[in-house]
Structure 1
């Protein structure tokens, strides 16, 4: 998922474990299931199970089909029950509406999922297989134009590609209700990460009768939504709202294991103001903190929670620009930036320099991290960068080059981009970098339209497999947006998506080989760092779950005295 700022498991025949690896990437204590250590109920619960949470932005959308950002997904996850969700450690897929694990046919292209018969919407209607069929069809319907529907379903769910291309009807999508409590899904090919895949909020159910009765008003505020998850939204005035409230859903099928009774959310865009509110006891959880000066004030404190998340940040290079079409110029840019200095001196938040695409502590095969057998590419080498730059200029006939560099308008992003500009201009004579700092929505629009030369971008995983990163760079891919293409890379990815789906070791090798082509051979983009998350959490608040897809779950939070 694109980052404004998105495990896991044994799935199917591939042994895939999770991305955060018990969140040991930071230099803090293990925070995999709470803000400190796993605390049992030997401690006494507080009389009030109510917390105050600060967020750094408003909720853009509460329609699970139309949502395309992490905060929206996080909020939808609190109030909706999907087929599966992540457990309280954020590292294992567990059934939610599903009644156990899916059953597969012989070639693992058809899965049958039995549903619980005691899951209800907040209007009293049962959650049925038809609710999933409706939402999935809505997500792939070209008339609805869901931002993530085609990306998630094309070449995965039967007939999704044909529907998007106008060669099949929405009703032909490979999902059907065998009966009220039996869902059948037909895949184009086996997906070794299917259970993790189905935890994503795009695949949540929607009540057709209710959605259609609301028309354009659906999901416009808290009064125009239905709820089936651990919480229900009792206050939210729509996308412009700077505060909202969730309360425990007594009708949730697993309500007995939900302790929190109320969560008060407020938007705080000023990091120092957020910290001040936390220090004054007015907030129990802050937004993610990016400012090194603020983080350093709490270094070593119990309140500071830090973990290495599986989100990657990089520079995209638009090959529509003739200079960036040259591989030596791209390599020069990638090698010219001192990434260690970037993470230690500029970010100073626990993030790590990245010489790779697939994050470490994210994807596992037979217990081994993807990075264990993969290489390290495009390490900082300023001398080599200068040689390649001069060679690239000769090959293109250029003497100097001016690039438009698009980044975000946050203070942290501006500092990062200024550092990168300085590194490039000082290391590569004849290069000039013009930075354009824009709001996140505009940055995404500029990326989608390829209206940039160099773009500072990021990506977080949508499911627990390297493919959530690797298929971004397929020739003509929906998230490519930089005119990169290599038939050898495409073949390896297609093989990993298809014939190697049931051959774990061979599939892993194909993906690692593809990463080498992408970075060492082509320098398609310039990897920068894998981000660490820092936030402040009241030590009395235990059980906050963090994950790769929707950031946090409050389902298992408890407040102690």
Structure 2
């Protein structure tokens, strides 16, 4: 067995077959770094492509294509030095120009990247104007004075800028391949990538297979030969396949973590995760009743979050009264009035507010549709929440579920009354959550607009101590209630003890197959 440079402890016997197979709920949104918008797709893209920096098992930055960077005294210019041994899977050297091309592509209105707004958040010079169609992509503040130097100019200092370059949107793209194949460039037979793996097979809604990229600069340290993603749209079936040894990892069905942790103490995990779960009100074209803040407050108060996390999900989730999770780096959860009330007090206040708004007993019956993407846990949360509304407030809710890609399109197009929302941090800082509630955010699906929130979030970007600003934003959101925070995630998975190297301490749960390995039985 060869010696590996990866973190395989001395004395560990590796399995003969180095493979990892895991289950995912839905087909991913895309394998194009500048187009992908979901967590499952990003997990695959991180294997196929490599950005300037990666993350280690604790979520710290480690070199990727970039070896290092320097910031100017005013923190407006970042100069990245790229390694000279990074090449694409076809043998072409990876250059700073590949990043320039990718970043210009991400902001180009012609591509209509769902993450174009992320490049705006990075405060790259002229980014916002280009996304708005007011300037050409070539005006973006990114340049390559030579093949191994990438220079980024910001419009204002951003303390967490380097944290943002581990995100897929910022990964390089092979211009020559995209120009030849257009939208078909991500097919296995066409794709050229620069990560530790290449795409060998993709059967939509069934499976995706990636194999080691022999041209990857650190290929000698890679242990896993093959990584397979299986699309299994049912949590219970996923667990059955895990028990049969057909998959190494799967999500735990809602409510089953306690029993599985007892049965498989070394393979059932509940890990804090940088994600929130919430309900969006459609404030743009939803029911008239949703324009009344009393209605929104009443619906938020009547939900017993303890019941949802302790009895329905049972996986270590945290009841949420603020949008930003407590696991976020350097963030203190602010006090909001609703959090300090008992559930009985919330229920009484909810009835009072709804009656004031003209609904409930002696008034009109409030009715609306709730949209979620197909999944047993989402369905259970929806059923429990709507039962609480019905029993406590007399509200009639019709449930509607859609397959993931259709759901994303429907929600984005505002074709819903209320819809499930969830967000996993793109980087570990509170702005990755609170920016979603600014007027211009691409993922502000509630279409909430508050000038003070916009002002505070702009100010926070260059503040040495943004916590007071974030506290005020959270308090405004708690008062206005454009979204109803339900809970903050924990990662609930069954992971075979044969698979080692998982980044248990990375709250973003950004993982790289190149860091994993399979041990012998």
Query: What is the TM-score normalised by the length of structure 1?
Result: 0.85
1:39-438 map, 5 Å: 40-87=9-56, 89-100=57-68, 102-153=69-120, 156-219=123-186, 221-237=187-203, 240=204, 242-286=206-250, 288-293=251-256, 296-299=259-262, 301-320=265-284, 321-364=287-330, 369-371=331-333, 374-379=334-339, 380=343, 381-393=346-358, 399-429=364-394, 431-438=395-402
- The 1:277/1:409 distance shift into structure 2, 3 A limit, reads closer
Instruction: Measure, in 2, the Cα distance between the counterparts of 1:559 and 1:154.
Output: 39
1:419-472 superposed Cα distances (whole Å, 9 cap, x missing partner): 11111122124x222222222233322322222222221111111211111111
Partner secondary structure for residue 104 of structure 2: helix
1:157-187 superposed Cα distances (whole Å, 9 cap, x missing partner): 1111111222211110111101110000111
Instruction: Measure, in 2, the Cα distance between the counterparts of 1:481 and 1:77.
Output: 26
Aligned-pair CA distance for 1:247: 2.1
Partner secondary structure for residue 312 of structure 1: strand
Between 1:294-303 and 1:437-446, the stretch displaced more is 294-303
Aligned-pair CA distance for 1:382: 0.6
Contact (CA 8 Å) 1:545, 1:554: kept in 2 or not?
A: no
Instruction: Measure, in 2, the Cα distance between the counterparts of 1:58 and 1:90.
Output: 28
1:314-364 superposed Cα distances (whole Å, 9 cap, x missing partner): 121223433222222211111111110011111122212111111011222
Aligned-pair CA distance for 1:154: 5.6
Aligned-pair CA distance for 1:392: 2.3
Aligned-pair CA distance for 1:281: 2.6
Aligned-pair CA distance for 1:551: 4.5
1:381-419 superposed Cα distances (whole Å, 9 cap, x missing partner): 111111122222289x96332222222232222221111
- The 1:256/1:276 distance shift into structure 2, 3 A limit, reads same
- The 1:167/1:332 distance shift into structure 2, 3 A limit, reads same
Instruction: Measure, in 1, the Cα distance between the counterparts of 2:349 and 2:449.
Output: 25
Aligned-pair CA distance for 1:70: 1.5
RCO comparison, higher one (Cα < 8 Å, 6+): 1
1:16-35 map, 5 Å: none
1:29-82 superposed Cα distances (whole Å, 9 cap, x missing partner): xxxxxxxxx972333222332233333333442111121121211111112121
Contact (CA 8 Å) 1:236, 1:243: kept in 2 or not?
A: yes
Aligned-pair CA distance for 1:298: 4.0
Instruction: Measure, in 2, the Cα distance between the counterparts of 1:294 and 1:375.
Output: 30
User: Could you tell me which residue of structure 2 aligns to residue 9 of structure 1?
Assistant: none
User: Could you tell me which residue of structure 2 aligns to residue 518 of structure 1?
Assistant: 477
User: Could you tell me which residue of structure 1 aligns to residue 448 of structure 2?
Assistant: 484
Instruction: Measure, in 2, the Cα distance between the counterparts of 1:155 and 1:82.
Output: 15
Contact (CA 8 Å) 1:272, 1:294: kept in 2 or not?
A: no
User: Could you tell me which residue of structure 1 aligns to residue 4 of structure 2?
Assistant: none
Aligned-pair CA distance for 1:126: 0.4
Instruction: Measure, in 2, the Cα distance between the counterparts of 1:223 and 1:390.
Output: 61
Question: Are positions 1:560 and 2:519 aligned together?
Answer: yes
Aligned-pair CA distance for 1:542: 0.7
1:185-204 superposed Cα distances (whole Å, 9 cap, x missing partner): 11121111111101001111
- The 1:39/1:223 distance shift into structure 2, 3 A limit, reads closer
Aligned-pair CA distance for 1:121: 0.6
Aligned counterpart in structure 2 of residue 474 of structure 1, from 419, 438, 443: 438
Query: What is the TM-score normalised by the length of structure 2?
Result: 0.91
Aligned counterpart in structure 2 of residue 504 of structure 1, from 450, 464, 467: 464
Instruction: Measure, in 1, the Cα distance between the counterparts of 2:393 and 2:231.
Output: 42
Instruction: Name stretches of at least 5 consecutive residues in structure 1 with no aligned partner.
Output: 1-37
Instruction: Measure, in 2, the Cα distance between the counterparts of 1:483 and 1:251.
Output: 45
Contact (CA 8 Å) 1:70, 1:549: kept in 2 or not?
A: no
Instruction: Measure, in 1, the Cα distance between the counterparts of 2:409 and 2:310.
Output: 30
Between 1:127-136 and 1:459-468, the stretch displaced more is 459-468
1:461-486 superposed Cα distances (whole Å, 9 cap, x missing partner): 11121111111112353322324222
User: Could you tell me which residue of structure 2 aligns to residue 31 of structure 1?
Assistant: none
Contact (CA 8 Å) 2:283, 2:290: kept in 1 or not?
A: yes
Instruction: Measure, in 2, the Cα distance between the counterparts of 1:235 and 1:409.
Output: 26
Instruction: Measure, in 2, the Cα distance between the counterparts of 1:486 and 1:229.
Output: 41
Instruction: Measure, in 1, the Cα distance between the counterparts of 2:302 and 2:291.
Output: 18
Contact (CA 8 Å) 2:53, 2:61: kept in 1 or not?
A: yes
Instruction: Measure, in 2, the Cα distance between the counterparts of 1:267 and 1:316.
Output: 27
Instruction: Measure, in 2, the Cα distance between the counterparts of 1:448 and 1:271.
Output: 26
Instruction: Measure, in 1, the Cα distance between the counterparts of 2:257 and 2:132.
Output: 50
User: Could you tell me which residue of structure 2 aligns to residue 442 of structure 1?
Assistant: 406
Instruction: Measure, in 2, the Cα distance between the counterparts of 1:537 and 1:247.
Output: 21
